[in-house]
Amino acid sequence: MQRSIVAGLISSALVLAPIAAARADTSVTCMYMLMRVYHAELDYCHVALTKDREDRYQRMKAGMEKFIHTNAKQDPNLIISGIETDNIKRALAGLKSCQSDDFKYAVQALDEVTTPDHEKMVQGTLALPRDPQVGDCGT
């Protein structure tokens, strides 16, 4: 349940906050982690994004990975692999069912995150070099 609260805070920050505020307040690694977790939950439950949303997801994922590799103060490979081995596995282990409220929230959040407007916001965020781990993650 705490994951849902944290994810809700971040999704709200990513989707509803003005672009400048989202750029300044949310860490790139947090945005990346949440996107990856949501997508992994959809994959686990065999729910596919539409082609246009999947394409946007893949572009944002690649852009964030490049940003992390370029700007991280720590080993970028460890940051990215840690998300894969820790956050995603923990989320999938905690997923009660593909009909749970957590899963429904992941679908809704990923729908919001894969809009053209959100992709533009992410591109703007990635245009500002900074440590990708600096910023909030709703905790």
Domain count for the chain: 1
| Tens digit of each residue's pLDDT (9 = 90 or more) over 47-97 | 999 999 999 999 999 999 999 999 999 999 999 999 988 999 999 999 889
Spell out the SS3 assignment of 5-42. Answer: HHHHHHHHHHHHCCHHHHHHHECHHHHHHHHHHHHHHH
> Does residue 139 lie within any of the structural domains?
no
- Where helices occur in 45-100 by DSSP H, the ranges are 51-71, 76-82, 89-94
> Does residue 125 lie within any of the structural domains?
no
What is the rounded distance in angstroms from the CA atom of residue 111 to the CA atom of residue 52? Answer: 11
> Does residue 135 lie within any of the structural domains?
no
Query: Which residues form the domain of 79?
Result: 2-118
Portion of the chain with pLDDT greater than 90, in percent: 68
| Tens digit of each residue's pLDDT (9 = 90 or more) over 94-135 | 988 999 998 999 999 999 999 999 999 999 999 989 999 998
> Does residue 129 lie within any of the structural domains?
no
> Does residue 7 lie within any of the structural domains?
yes
**Predicted pLDDT at 104:** 92
> Does residue 26 lie within any of the structural domains?
yes
